[in-house]
Each structure stands twice: as structure tokens, then as C-alpha cells.
Chains A and B, each alone.
Chain A
Amino acid sequence: MNDRSTRVFLVDDHSLFLSGVRAELDGVVDVAGTSTEVRDAIEAIRQTKPDVVLVDVHMPGGGGKAVIDAVLRTDPRVRFLALSVSDAAEDVIAVIRAGARGYVTKTIGATELADAIRRVHDGDAVFSPRLAGFVLDAFAGEPATVTAPQDPELDKLTAREADVLRLIARGYTYKEIARRLQISVKTVETHVSAVLRKLQLSTRHELTRWASDRGVV
């Protein structure tokens, strides 16, 4: 998927990885800039105003979450896609709740990464199989009663959303899911975006616990 008009900014404290990703993405998207450091990245993103920021989760100085928090305060239009080698549940949930629209691991292939960037640029969400698994796990069972949710709809997944997440967890692409469930790819994206919204806003105990463990709430 070629989309040279998407301006992408890369933030990763490993310069080796940064140059690798840059080489892969050059010519596929417009790489607006790179940074290896949190403070520097926040400044540069505010100046270059990219469409999508590809941000590493673990970095000295607050990590990807610090970048997301700072930039979204001044430029809410910038979209974030988190990238990490860690796929521990609390890391994933923490960056998503900070405002990232997706999460992919660093082993992702170049084509898939470009596809994920395009999807985030369009305002959709990007769920890796593992993230889909975490979400199904977190939303399994009855909503917690202690938290007294202000909106009970946010505390559970619809049957269709769960179906979509299960297929993602099973390794299906959005296109394959659409064919399988006989819906359009756009509808699949709508379902995933709805799940992302629930993930960010729900007060479910499992989510808030994960998030509060990492000092996100």
C-alpha cells in the first residue's frame, strides 16, 4: 500500500532500529523526522506536525507515554502508533489508554507496518493478535461491580466486537475477517475503533488496575 502523502515521525531510543525502520518506510510513506529522545521528540513533533507518530513504548525519560501525553495536549490531531519489543499486557494497555490508536510489535514486517500506519492515519485502530487477546481477557466475565461505571456500555464488548477480536487473535487480517463475517472491511474497522474507545474510556477493574499499576490513571 503506497501512500507517500502520509507524514510519519519516528521516535525510538535505539538508533539502529530507527534507521532500519526508516529504510523500510522511505518511499512508502513520507518520513518527516526521527528522534531518539523524549524531550527532543516532543519539540520536533510540535514543529513538524506529522500525521502519524511511530513511538517506542520503553524509553528513558517517561517512555512513549510521556511523548503521547505532551503532544496530545497541544496537538490533539496527531495520531500515535505504539511500537515495542515488549508485549506485556500492562505496557500495551498503558499506551493505549494514554491515547495511542494501535500497538504493534517490532517484529512486524514492512508491509504490515505501512498498512498499520495508513490505518492509524485514517483514524482507525490497529490491533495485533496479542493485543486482541489481552482485550478479550480483560473484558471476559461480568463487569466489575465495585467501580460503579458511569457508562455500562463501555464495560462490555458486543458479540460482534468479540467475534472480530477473536478472528484478529487467530491471525486473520481485516480483509479476511470481512470476508469471513460477510461484512465490509470498513465495518471491521468500525468495530475495532469502537473496541479501542472502550479500551481507553472503560472503568473496568482489570483495565484500571493495569493502568494504575503503571501510573497512567
Chain B
Amino acid sequence: MHRGEDRLIAGVCSGIAEALGVDPIIVRTAFIILTIAGGFGVPLYLVLWFLLREPDGTRGIHLDRVDVTRGDLQQLVAVCLLVAGTVLLLRSLGLWFSDALVWPITLAGLGVALLWSRTGDEERERLTRAANRLPGRRFEALPGGWQTTLRLALGAVLVLAGLGAFLAANDALNAARQVAIAVAVTVAGLALILSPWIRRMTTELAEERRERIRSEERSEMAAHLHDSVLQTLALIQRKSDQPRELVALARRQERELRAWLYGGPDRQSGTLANEIEAMAAEVEDVHGVEVDVVTVGDTAVTPAVNALVQATREAAVNAARHSGADAVSVYAEADGDRVTAFVRDRGHGFDPDHVPADRRGISSSIRDRMSRHGGHATITSSPTDGTEVMLELKHR
């Protein structure tokens, strides 16, 4: 006979049940009855715990063998029974302090345990998980407030009940009541006198803190605006005779400010969308042409994706330099393992088959680059609709 695997405490009951060939619940019930009947079940359990070997042959009472990770209601009841049984046994043996001491201590102890328990967060997480299994809506996190309040209130009530029980049992309740009334009246009086002052103090503190945060934000913003916007405005005043450069300056400033104001930390560097945005910004700066970028989806930059970005850049530069249009649209989409990019202008177009030999850009920088990485480029151009370059790639 050895200890069982299906254990609530040490596997004694399930071991016996296994040896007898009955359901563990029968043995457990027997032990509960023995425990309630004068606490006899407890020493029996402890002796058997000591005598029965573990399945692996070791022996002895090792608390670390108790499977505390179960943490369910059954185990809680089992442990409570063990404790209650021990208490009953001690009492019947005469080793008992007095009811006037034990019960108040028990109550107060429970209250303190509740007050000090740090399980609030874990409990919330567990409840959140349970709530998410419900159909309908998703909970990001349950509000922690009411559970914590309930726990604290229950703990406080238990501690107060413990103290009250102690006082009542020792006939000190009347005296305590007098003292309590005196203390309560004094505290109330003090609160009445001091509350306006305390309230003003707290509001002033909060106000001061808010003010400090605000002024820090303001100085950070002022520093940024000075470095960027004011400098650009100064430049614009000096270049008022060069409209194209003015537009470029304004665009660049707008882009920077936008990135500063709305740029979330969620955008990672080294992704397709980022590289395309950076490329467009650079082309805009160098060539003074508006480059509008729209990206859908995103992917990490592999050598092939990088080739596509470079080809997109070449197409955008060509559009900026040769098309005569003042705006270029760039669209990039990553969808699964397929990456496509379109560069479009409304310029005067060209005939892709009759490009002068000295303009190597299209064949080497766009077509060859794409085909080296298993992709391809399609160029459509007409004098009325302008030019569109489509770049397509399957990567990974």
C-alpha cells in the first residue's frame, strides 16, 4: 500500500482507497466523520501519512509533496478540516486556552489575513479570464476597485468583530464603549475643525503637481517648436522668391511636426512601411515634389523587400525629375508573402520602348533589380494619364 496520486493533502485517503478498490470519496468521508467525532481522524491521518510510502518509495511527512498548486475548493476544505480537527482534538485533551481567547484571535486573524492578502491582482486576472469566456464582449481587464473594497471591508469587519468578541468575553465592552465614544467625538470634532484646511492642502498639492507637469510639457514643446518650426519659418521668409523650395520646406516641416505630434511608438523601424515613408521624404526633400504615401499592411525588410524599396525610390525619382508633375503617389501593400508597390504621376508620360540609352535608370535600377529578386516591374505610360510603375515581389 502506498500513497495515491489523486491527492487533496498527502494522498493517504486515495492510497487506501486504491488498496481497497473503492472510490476515494468513501475513505475521505470516513476520515471526515472520524475527525468530527472528537478529532480522532487527524492523528490517524498523520500516522498513516508517516507510514505510507510515496509511489517512488520515499517515506515521511514532507509538506513540499503536498500538491499546493491545486488550489481549489476541495483542497481548501480538506485543509480546513485538518485544522479544525486538530483544534477539536486539543480541546478534548484539555489543551485549550479558553473560548474567550481563541475565537477572537481566530476572527481577528482571518480579518488580518484578508486585509494583508496580496491576491487582489491574481484574482482579478483569473476573473478576467473567466469573463472572457463569456460570449458577447471582450474584457481587457476587470475594474479592480469593488473586489479590493469588498476584501478590505470584510477584513476590517472581521478584525473589529474579533476585538469586540474579546472585549465582550472579558466584560470590558462597557468600558471600551465609553472610550470609543470619547475617541469618536474627539476625532469628529478635529475633522470638523481641520477639514477645510486639509482639503485646501490636498487640492493645492494636486494643482501644483498638475501645473508642474503642464509647464514641463510646455517647455518641451517650446524647445521642439523653436528647433523646427521657427527655423523653417525664418527660412521661408528668406526664400520668398522661390515658390518650389517654399513648398518643399513647408512639406518637410509638416512631415516632421506630424511625426512628432502623431507618431506612435508602435511603428517599428526597419519595416516596409517605414522604409517607404523615409524614401518618400528623401525624394521630396531632394527634388521638391510632393510624394504622397499610402501603405497597407507591413512586413520586415528582407534583401528582396529592400530591392523593391530601392526600385520604388528610383521610380519616384524618375517621376519627380522627368514627368513634369508636381505630385507623385506611392502605394505599397504587403499581403502575406506578396509585396506590391505602385508609383504614379500625372505627368506627360513617355514611351518605355524608346528610352534614350543614357537613361539607364529604368532597365538597370528597376527592371533588373526586381527580376534579380524574383519579382517584376510593369510600366504603363501615356501622354494623357501620366506614368504608373508597378513593382511586384513574392518574398520568403
Give the docked Cα–Cα distance between A166 and B388 (Å).
14
Is the beta-carbon distance between B296 and A137 smaller than 8 angstroms? yes
Q: Is the CB of A170 within 8 A of B136?
A: no
Q: What is the CA–CA distance of A7 and B331 in the complex, to the nearest angstrom?
A: 35
Contact A146 B138 (CB under 8 A): yes
Within the assembled complex, what's the spacing in Å between the Cα atoms of A130 and B292?
9
Could you tell me if A129 and B136 are in contact, using CB atoms closer than 8 angstroms? Answer: no
CA separation between A148 and B385, bound complex, in Å? 45
Q: Are B297 and A140 in contact (CB-based, < 8 A)?
A: yes
Could you tell me if A86 and B136 are in contact, using CB atoms closer than 8 angstroms?
no
Whether A88 lies near B262 (C-beta < 8 A) is: yes
Give the nearest-CB partner of B296 in chain A: A136
The answer to whether B138 and A169 touch across the interface, beta carbons within 8 angstroms, is no
Q: Once the chains bind, are A133 and B138 in contact (CB under 8 Å)?
A: no
Among A129, A133, A140, A171, chain B packs the most CB atoms within 10 A around the CB of A171
Cα(A146)–Cα(B131), bound, Å: 13
Given A146-B138, A170-B344, the answer on whether A133 and B262 have CB atoms closer than 8 Å is: no
Closest approach, in angstroms, between the C-beta of A213 and any C-beta of chain B?
A: 11
Determine whether the beta carbon of A130 is less than 8 Å from that of B294. yes
* Interface class of chain B by DSSP: strand
1/0 per residue, CB under 8 A from A, across B321-360: the answer is 0000000010101010000001010000000000000000
Q: Is residue A132 within 8 Å, beta carbon to beta carbon, of the partner chain? A: yes
- Chain B residue numbers with a CB within 8 Å of A172 are 344
Among candidates B262, B329, B335, B388, residue contacting A129 with C-beta atoms closer than 8 Å:
B329
State the CA gap A136–B340 with chains docked (Å).
Answer: 14
Is B135 on the interface with A (CB-CB < 8 A)? yes
Closest to B298 in A: A137
8 Å CB contacts to A: which residues of B95-145?
Answer: 135-136, 138
In the complex, are the beta carbons of A171 and B262 less than 8 A apart?
no
1/0 per residue, CB under 8 A from B, across A143-158: the answer is 0001110000000000
Separation of A198 and B136 alpha carbons in the complex (Å) = 20
Taking CB atoms, residues of chain A closer than 8 Å to B295 are 133
Instruction: Answer whether residue A176 sits at the interface, using C-beta atoms and an 8 A cutoff.
Output: yes
Q: Is the CB of B344 within 8 A of A171?
A: yes
Q: Is the CB of B296 within 8 A of A169?
A: yes
Q: How far is the CB of A70 from chain B (nearest CB, A)?
A: 27
Q: Mark A26-54, 1 if CB is under 8 A from B, else 0.
A: 00000000000000000000000000000
Q: Choose one: A86, A133, A148; the contact of B296 (CB below 8 Å).
A: A133
Q: Which B residue's beta carbon lies closest to that of A138?
A: B296
Which residues of chain A in 118-139 are interfacial with respect to chain B, using CB atoms and an 8 Å cutoff? 129-130, 132-133, 136-137
B368-396 interface with A by 8 A CB criterion:
385, 388
- Say whether B331 contacts A129, CB under 8 Å: yes
The CA of A149 and the CA of B344, in the complex, are separated in Å by: 38
Q: Which residues of A contact B329 (CB under 8 A)?
A: 129, 170-171
- Give complex CA distance A56, B297 in Å: 28
Residue in B292, B294, B335, B344 whose Cβ sees the most chain A Cβ within 10 Å: B294
Nearest chain A CB to B7 CB, angstrom units = 38
Q: Are A132 and B294 in contact (CB under 8 A)?
A: yes
- Would you call A169 and B335 a contact (CB within 8 A)? no
Give CA–CA (A202, B231) in the complex, Å.
45
For residue A169, which residues in chain B have a CB less than 8 angstroms away from its CB?
294, 296, 331
Q: Inside 8 A of A170's CB, which chain B residues have their CB?
A: 294, 329, 331, 342, 344, 388
Q: Is the CB–CB distance between A136 and B292 below 8 Å?
A: no
Give A148 to B262 CA distance when docked, in angstroms.
Answer: 32
- 26 A-B residue pairs with Cβ-Cβ distance under 8 Å, sorted by A, are A86-B258, A86-B261, A86-B262, A88-B262, A129-B292, A129-B329, A129-B331, A130-B292, A130-B294, A133-B294, A133-B331, A136-B333, A137-B296, A140-B296, A140-B297, A140-B335, A146-B138, A147-B138, A148-B135, A166-B333, A170-B329, A170-B331, A170-B342, A171-B329, A171-B331, A172-B344
Complex A-B, nearest 3 residue pairs according to Cβ-Cβ distance, in ascending order: A171-B329, A133-B294, A170-B331
For the complex with contacts A140-B335, A170-B329, A172-B344, 13 further pairs of A-B residues with Cβ separation under 8 Å are A86-B258, A86-B262, A130-B292, A132-B294, A133-B294, A133-B331, A136-B296, A137-B296, A140-B297, A146-B138, A171-B329, A171-B331, A171-B344
A residues apposed to B, CB below 8 Å: 86, 88, 129-130, 132-133, 136-137, 140, 146-148, 166, 169-172, 176
